[in-house]
Structure 1
């Protein structure tokens, strides 16, 4: 399973005190069964209930961390899409280092295609300068207290339209640093993505 490939990347990093998988409450037992089936025995790996959206899920994870270990001022959380199994050790470690130093970091690659903006889905509203555009990936990593304080400061209306954890920090006025991602750090969510993922695994696609 993709989840196992992703988890194995994080297990290799000794800096993590916990490796937390958030899943819908009704899937906790199933997720634990998958971990057991594929011999994921690292005691740092935990499964917790997620929330109604990405950001609420992150807050649930932070609550778990506080309840189990407490939270120090310099603690960092590295958030990642479970369906991105091709992240590298470099990406993970740079996320940890940059988040520890600056408080917030996003993993990105430069935009290859021109991006157009449309407000009505029929006409172009604007065309941003391409060399200023980046495609967001994950991990996204944060000083835990900065993230939590920034989230709490948002209004209910702001929280409803958030689609990205880094937006929480941007809305607070705090800088979010960039870490270089990889073209092959793809999100595997469609049958086409799965074909690309299999090609990467089999070596049919080489990272030049």
Structure 2
């Protein structure tokens, strides 16, 4: 049976934390190109992907097509589809698209990445795919250099051991059937609360592999992040 590996670029957010901008953050310029173009170009370099699915808000689908055409993002594997209202809805719609397009077998996998993490490396993507040979789910992480504090907003309730703490990044990668089955076990309330896909699989009892990320694999969420990202780009990343 042929194993299909899909890429899913999540560009469904409106980016309220970016402030008063005319475009969602994934379309803002980083250097000479929109952030989303930098990100998708990283995935085009990998010939293992059957399809590269890009999910955007419905009203931005046509704009995304125009942007890709303008900046020469012409890989025939790219499919631009409508995302959902929440992260899990967006992933669900991508999986439904795969089912309708190619069907889904027990060995098929998906590598899910935030559109606003434009500096993901080939190594991180390759390591995710490699880890899927042994695990049904993979999370990209970096060590937490600061002490992590759990609290209720007023008081500290716990200070976990820092050496055991990591910060999650993306990609997060999954055996598709495993994710679908894990998601189906959740209650409606859990589906709203649980925005982290790796946690959904973890709660179903599956082991989740850790792949080493990189501090440059940052998420561009605020104006400050965009300034940092431009600085990274100017250094030749």
Q: Distance in 2 between matches of 1:161 and 1:167?
A: 11
How many residue pairs match? The answer is 204
1:49 aligns with 2:86: no
Map 1:95-110 to 2 at 5 A.
95-110=128-143
Q: Distance in 1 between matches of 2:207 and 2:189?
A: 22
Instruction: Write the distance in 2 (CA, Å) between the matches of 1:101 and 1:58.
Output: 22
Q: 2:154 — aligned with what?
A: 122
Deviations 1:17-49 (A, max 9, x none): 000110111111111111111111111011011
Matches within 5 A, 1:185-200: 185-200=217-232
- Give, in whole Å, the separation in 1 of the partners of 2:51 and 2:57: 19
Deviations 1:156-195 (A, max 9, x none): 1211111211111011011111000001100011111111
Q: Distance in 1 between matches of 2:62 and 2:134?
A: 37
Output the CA distance in 1 between the equivalents of 2:65 and 2:194: 29
Structure whose residues are more often strand by fraction: 2
Give structure 1 stretches of 5+ with no counterpart.
none
CA distance in 1, matches of 2:234, 2:63: 28
Report deviation, 1:112.
0.4
Greater share of helix residues, 1 or 2?
Answer: 1
- SS class of match (1:19): strand
Q: Which 4+ runs in 1 deviate beyond 4 A?
A: none
TM-score normalized by structure 2? 0.84
Gap regions ≥5 residues in structure 2: 1-33
1:2–1:83 Cα contact (<8 Å) kept: yes
Q: Does 1:19 align with 2:52?
A: yes
TM norm structure 1: 0.95
Kindly report which structure 2 residues correspond to 1:1-208, keeping only aligned pairs within 5 A, or say none. Answer: 1-119=34-152, 121-203=153-235
SS at match of 2:158: coil
Q: Secondary structure at the match of 1:41?
A: coil
